[in-house]
Structure 1
Amino acid sequence: MPNLVNLENVAIAFGGPKPVLDGVSLGVDSGDRVGVVGRNGGGKSTLISILAGRLDPDSGRVSPVRGLRMASVTQQSQPTGATVRSSVLGGEIPDHEWAAEPRSRAVIEGLRPGGGRGLDASIEGLSGGERQRIALAAALVQDLDLLVLDEPTNHLDVEGVRWLAEHLLARRTALVVVTHDRWFLDTVASRTWEVVDGHVEQYEGGYNDWIFARAERARLADAAEQRRRNLARKELAWLRRGPQARTSKPRYRVEAAEALIADVPEPRDTVELVTMARHRLGRTVVELEDATLTVPSEPPRTIVDRQTWRIGPGDRVGIVGINGSGKTTLLRTVAGERELDGGKRTQGTTVRMAHLSQDLSDLPLHRRVLQAVEDIAERVWIGGREHTASALAERFGFPASRQWTPVAELSGGERRRLQLVRLLMTEPNVLLLDEPTNDLDVDTLQQLEDLLDNWAGTLVVVSHDRYLTERICDRVVALFGDGRITDLPGGIEEYLRRRDQQAERENVRSVAAASSSATPGGVPGGSEGDRRAARKEIQRIERRIEKLDTREKQLHTALADAATDPGRLQELDAELKALLSEREQLEESWLEASVD
């Protein structure tokens, strides 16, 4: 494959005694899709900044191919125009022009830059996350040889992450991406670079293959009991037992992996943890009864409409939904930080709640790291083990050499890690996490998951990180915009499937609206008798679709209730599949009747 850019013996130190990168030599070829991993502050962003030509190294050489078409999007990238349209498209391009170009149309429909404000919205007043989506869209609409991205999933919801992965896989552009999103990394990457101690280790394959390589190194270096406790082996075990893992390894290496994890226990004993949680929490944790939640807008928007939701001892719940669906508002309501607009909230008397919000303002900037942790407590029990403040801080990426660093000098990722340590030192029995993966590196996420594996308490998580949600949660609920808190027995796969169906229905309705405006009566062409017959057929189909929608909701409720009855589950699942098939045929018939 043609080589696009090379780094030869590159080094950079930023004036410190220890170089961030030291003698790094590597290259990117046409068709490469490289995922970059490593600890926060380890040099990932520095590496891709040098690769993209935004930063000059202290020594060494960067050699891009002549005429290289490259775009890079960093966490500091800003829109370049006055409106969303001009920023994404490079000018005030009319709708009929960009919509006729497949790539631009796909990017604008997939990323929704500007959100509900549309392409003509002013850049002024947009949030940082919205600006990041606009900068990402502006890069993706271009015809490129190489795309360099730094944490592109940070401001995307679950659907947005899936769309971005599928989009990148479908185009031929080479890719170098820094990301902590392990599902995304494993889906898009064909190679992995690990930045560690100033060097870059290179691996074939994505996250699964990288974890295997780390586990294999641990197997060769450690004794048997140390290997059992190795986090990489535990992570690999979960990967192999969970959804079908993607791996490029030959069969003999897969068999070696199976042997390596043969004696690794399951991540957690759910029954034992729930029993322990009941002893600590009693029967009542948090209950929302006949609850209504609205957000002030024009017109007012209802997030939850007269719903009853009970969170019990030992529950591990993930909340998913598109950006703006109300996930954070619901979590704040569970925490008691936001009043219900209707209904009643009940909290158990033994509940000790901790809420990890996206706000870092609660950190004491005048203190040092260890002092900030010991201000909460000097020791803590988690998962049946005692941890000192210093040991827990070290586990979350603060070695002894960093524990006396002033909090004010920490990076955003380090502050997020410190916030987590302080939260865990309060010994909560109910833990609410709002986008906990933001600014956390892969190693820190593994440490967090390992701690939560044996944590006997109730956990509610809002996250766009599909891997994290599937890894630490036993149950998933969704906000679809219909005022309900919907249980999803099939997890995130079911959520994405139902969102696809929802999008198809909205598509059908938009086609109907267009047809109605095109001709009197809602169907184009033909005699008045033909149009009348077509209208009757459309109405018949719509009534049937409404009945199927109602029955679908009933089936999902029945599936949740029948979770311990395999025979009943099989019957309900068969009925649901038949229902979905019938509705798909009806929607096709409706479309034909509308446009004939």
Structure 2
Amino acid sequence: MALYSITGAQLAFGHVALLDNADFALEAGERVGLIGRNGAGKSSLLKIVAGLTAPDDGLVARQSSLNTVYVPQEPTFDPELSVFDAVALGLGELHAMLSEYDHTAAALADAAEGAAHDALLARLNTLQSSLEATGAWQVKTRVETTIAQLGLDAHARVGTLSGGMQKRVSLAQAWVARPDILLLDEPTNHLDFDAIRWLEELLLGFRGSLLFITHDRSFLDRVATRIVELDRGRLLSYPGNFTQYQERKAQQLEIERVENDKFDKLLAQEEVWIRKGVEARRTRSVSRIERLRDMRAQRAERRETQGNVRMDVAQADRSGKMVAELINVTKAFGERTVVRDFTATLMRGDKIGLVGPNGAGKTTLLKLMLGQLQPDAGQIRVGTNLQVAYFDQMRTQLDPEKSLLDTISPGSDWIEINGEKKHVMSYLGDFLFSPERARSPVRSLSGGERNRVLLARLFARPANVLVLDEPTNDLDIPTLELLEELLQDYSGTVFLVSHDRTFLDNVVTSVIAAEGDGLWREYVGGFTDWQIQRDRAAAIAAQRAPAPAEAVKEVAAAKRGGNRTVKLSYKEQRELEGLPERIAALESEQSTVSKQLEDGTIFAKDPQQGAALSERFEAIELALLEALERWEMLEAKQRGEAS
């Protein structure tokens, strides 16, 4: 028998039916991933299962004495609570007794001898007896163990914690309650890779039933034993993980398309028949006319699949071939070094993922790369003609009181995307916003809708460098997949900060990863490639680890040769000294030629000169790349790194 079931559920907001005669059941020990488009009603269904709200209609069945715990997408706590007290809230009445015991013991320690002291002592003895009878001391140990497992400070105030740490507190609070059914709404939001992996392991060992909403495809693949999709008001069940769901869903959509095509063809034939002349009307069949009415009603009630977001990036003029070069860059804040001795060359068209724990310094490294922050040591050269567009995970670029129209195109009804004018209402329609929604204030939007607005605003501005800070939060899977395709085809440079492992694998060409203690290292490939290379390097290092005596010798040898450099020839030294000036001259000429070519009028006035300038632009790019490579090679040779 199912722990929980709902049959014939109806739920609507306004004219939109979120649940349309939907059925759902949750069995013991299942781990069900709930997916669907933004605004489809997933969070509403989760709240119905949690008992926080009720459907408009439908039969709900729940086993008695069922302990159901719900963790919302954005948990809220009293900011003055300690982490221990916030987590212990999951114990219900036991928490109240434990809290009263602690406060009574503290008051007793400060109380003077007398009636008040005796009353406190009597109350403390009563509480102690009650706690021993209910086994609360073991429960207190469970709270302390859970807090330690999540890497939390039991004495810290919740209000001082980051979003990721507060999410851990809410998960710990749910965990100590030992629920029969655990309900999680976007549990991976604000968590870094290590925390997500920890959560996966925790849930894989969970003995109860799990129903969770997430758009993290890797998380779904690892955790889910069944996928339930909320699609056009119906709940469709697919056994297995997300990869298996994708295969079955594609087959189902194709069957649905074929059946709809057959139905529409038959309906069209019947409509032709009913409109025939007098002869046809004499021979009409009453049953056939009735069938036509039924078919018209069925067609009117059919809910089509929701269209996909349509995205296109407004491309700016190309940047210089080199976007940024960092040589032995170090940056510290107080006594904490965030970036230590980092060297990298970033070229136009690179798609770079920055990965590391929350607080590792990904934003700081980004600002250094773009020349927005000066290093404490080392050199940074930023390329020419960079036009940068930002996607901010905190959505601080959005004014909550402005309408979507004013947010995208203030003071104008038109925007221009790659030379083509488009009405802002039509452009917002590409991002699935109806005309009514387009006039609404930003504050009325859900998290996923705000992210779509931010993407629409971002892509409406010409740019050749995209900086995307957690763009995948709250986006549904179809929109994620479309954004992946857009970034794959984008000719500019992309800097991507994300904890979505599948998204990183599908977009980036290299990963710059935090290695601890301010050290960063670049790896070729996506997230999975980085993990493989990192694990392989760690295994090789472990195998080659020298014995203690050998290690001492190696350190001594390194100290003797650590400052040794390779002497360049006189010609190479002169070449190295002249390269910065040559590179600067090439970049200046490239900028001048680019400005002459950018509006296209040169080709109308003087086609030959336009063609010559185009050839010169390509020649400059080639020369610039060769000069940069030569400079890097000579610098490496001088440092003793060349082979």
Q: Which residue of 2 aligns with 1:130?
A: 165
Q: Distance in 1 between matches of 2:554 and 2:200?
A: 32
Query: Does 1:4 pair with 2:39?
Result: no
Counterpart Cα distance in 2 of 1:170 and 1:220: 37
Aligned to 2:356: 321
Deviation per residue, 1:191-235 (Å, 9 max, x gap): 112223332222222222232233224444669xxxxxxxxxxxx
Q: Which stretch shifts more, 134-143 or 309-318? A: 134-143
2:384 alignment partner, SS class: coil
Q: Cα distance, 1:46 vs. partner?
A: 0.4
SS at match of 1:340: coil
Closer/same/farther in 2, CA of residues 327 and 97 from structure 1, 3 Å limit: farther
Change (3 A) 1:335 1:37: farther
Alignment of 1:68-79 (within 5 A): 68-79=66-77
How far apart are the structure 2 equivalents of 1:312 and 1:389?
A: 34
**Structure 2: distance between partners of 1:54 and 1:425:** 40
Change (3 A) 1:475 1:199: same
Gaps of 5+ in 1: 224-276, 505-536, 551-596
1:63 to 56, 61, 64: 61
Distance 1:23 1:219, change over 3 A: closer
Match of 2:195 in 1: 160
1:190 positional shift = 1.5
Does residue 458 in structure 1 map to residue 493 in structure 2? yes
Root-mean-square deviation (CA), in Å?
Answer: 3.9
Contact 2:4/2:62, CA 8 A, preserved across alignment = yes
Does the Cα contact within 8 Å between 2:370 and 2:382 map onto a contact in 1?
A: no
Q: Are residue 112 (structure 1) and residue 157 (structure 2) matched? A: no
Shift of 1:427: 2.5
> How many angstroms does 1:153 deviate by?
0.3
Q: Which of structures 1 and 2 has the bigger CA Rg?
A: 2
Instruction: Name which of 235, 240, 254 aligns with 1:200.
Output: 235
Q: In structure 2, what is the equivalent of residue 87 of structure 1? A: 86
Q: Helix, strand or coil for the counterpart of 2:47?
A: helix
State the Cα distance separating 1:304 from its structure 2 match: 0.7
Alignment of 1:100-499 (within 5 A): 105=145, 107-108=146-147, 110-113=149-152, 118-220=153-255, 280-296=318-334, 300-375=335-410, 378-379=414-415, 381=417, 389-390=424-425, 392-489=427-524, 491-493=526-528
Q: Alpha carbons of 1:195 and 1:292: their partners in 2 closer, same or farther (altered >3 Å)?
A: same
Of stretches 66-75 and 46-55 in structure 1, the one that deviates more from structure 2 is 66-75
- Name the SS for the 2:519 alignment partner: coil
Secondary structure of 1:438's counterpart equals coil
Match of 1:232 in 2: none
User: In 2 relative to 1, CA 23–138 (structure 1 residues): closer, same or farther, beyond 3 Å?
Assistant: same
Q: In the alignment, is the contact (CA less than 8 A) between 2:507 and 2:526 conserved in 1?
A: no
Displacement of 1:364 in angstroms is 4.1
In structure 1, what is the Cα distance between the partners aligned to 2:442 and 2:141? 51
* 2:249 counterpart letter in structure 1: R
Cα distance in 2 between the residues matched to 1:134 and 1:503:
32
Task: Please tell me the residue identity of whatever aligns with 2:433.
Answer: F
Question: In 1, Cα distance between the equivalents of 2:224 and 2:86?
Answer: 28
Aligned partners of 1:487 and 1:186: how far apart in 2?
27
Equivalent of residue 42 in structure 2, options 24, 41, 44: 44
Q: How many angstroms apart in 2 are the aligned matches of 1:322 and 1:544?
A: 35
| Change beyond 3 A, Cα 1:52–1:501 | farther
- Residue 471 (structure 1) shift: 1.0
Deviates more, 1:485-494 or 1:312-321: 485-494
Q: Indicate if the aligned counterparts of 1:78 and 1:132 stay in contact, CA closer than 8 A.
A: no
> What is the CA distance between 1:312 and its match in structure 2?
0.9
CA shift in 2, pair 1:163/1:471, >3 Å: same
Distance 1:546 1:463 in 2: 38
Query: Whole-Å Cα distance in 2 between the matches of residues 341 and 290 of structure 1?
Result: 10
**Aligned letter for 2:321?**
R
Read off the aligned partner of 1:449 and give its amino acid letter.
Answer: E
Q: Is the 8 A contact 1:335 1:355 kept in 2?
A: no
Letter of the 1:37 counterpart? I
Q: CA 1:355 to 1:473, structure 2 compared with 1: closer, same or farther past 3 Å? A: same
Structure 2: how far apart are the matches of 1:61 and 1:147?
21
Give unpaired runs (5+ residues) of structure 2: 103-136, 259-314, 540-545, 560-643
| Counterpart Cα distance in 2 of 1:381 and 1:363 | 21
Contact 1:319–1:460 (CA under 8 A) maintained in structure 2: yes
Taking the aligned partners of 1:369 and 1:437, their CA distance within structure 2 comes to: 20
Instruction: Give the match's secondary structure for 1:163.
Output: helix
Work out whether residues 380 and 427 of structure 1, in 8 Å CA contact, stay in contact via their aligned partners in 2: no
How far apart are residue 85 of structure 1 and its match?
2.2
Q: Distance in 2 between matches of 1:377 and 1:340?
A: 43
Q: 1:123 to 1:500 in 2, by over 3 A?
A: farther
Q: In structure 2, what is the Cα distance between the partners aligned to 1:97 and 1:496?
A: 39
Whether the 8 Å CA contact 2:352–2:496 is kept in 1: the answer is yes
Cα distance between partner residues in 2 of 1:503 and 1:7: 50
Query: In 2 relative to 1, CA 34–541 (structure 1 residues): closer, same or farther, beyond 3 Å?
Result: farther
Q: How far, CA to CA, are the matches of 2:399 and 2:341 in structure 1?
A: 40
What per-residue deviation string (whole Å, max 9, x for no partner) do you get for residues 437-487 of structure 1? 112121221221122121111111111111111111111121122322212
Task: Report what 1:29 is aligned to.
Answer: 27
Change (3 A) 1:490 1:359: closer
Contact map agreement 1:83 1:123 (CA 8 A) in 2 = yes
Q: Do the aligned partners of residues 278 and 485 (structure 1) sit closer, same or farther apart at CA in structure 2, a change above 3 Å counting?
A: farther
Aligned partners of 2:217 and 2:534: how far apart in 1? 22
Q: Distance in 2 between matches of 1:18 and 1:49?
A: 18
Q: TM-score, normalised by structure 2?
A: 0.63
The whole-number CA distance in structure 1 between the counterparts of 2:473 and 2:496 is: 13
Q: CA deviation at 1:84?
A: 1.4
Amino acid at match of 1:194: E
Residue by residue, what CA displacement relative to the aligned partner does 1:526-568 show, whole Å, maximum 9, x if unpaired? xxxxxxxxxxx99549759989x99xxxxxxxxxxxxxxxxxx
Aligned residues: 455
- CA apart distance, 1:496: 5.1
Offset of residue 33 of structure 1:
1.1
Aligned to 2:263: none
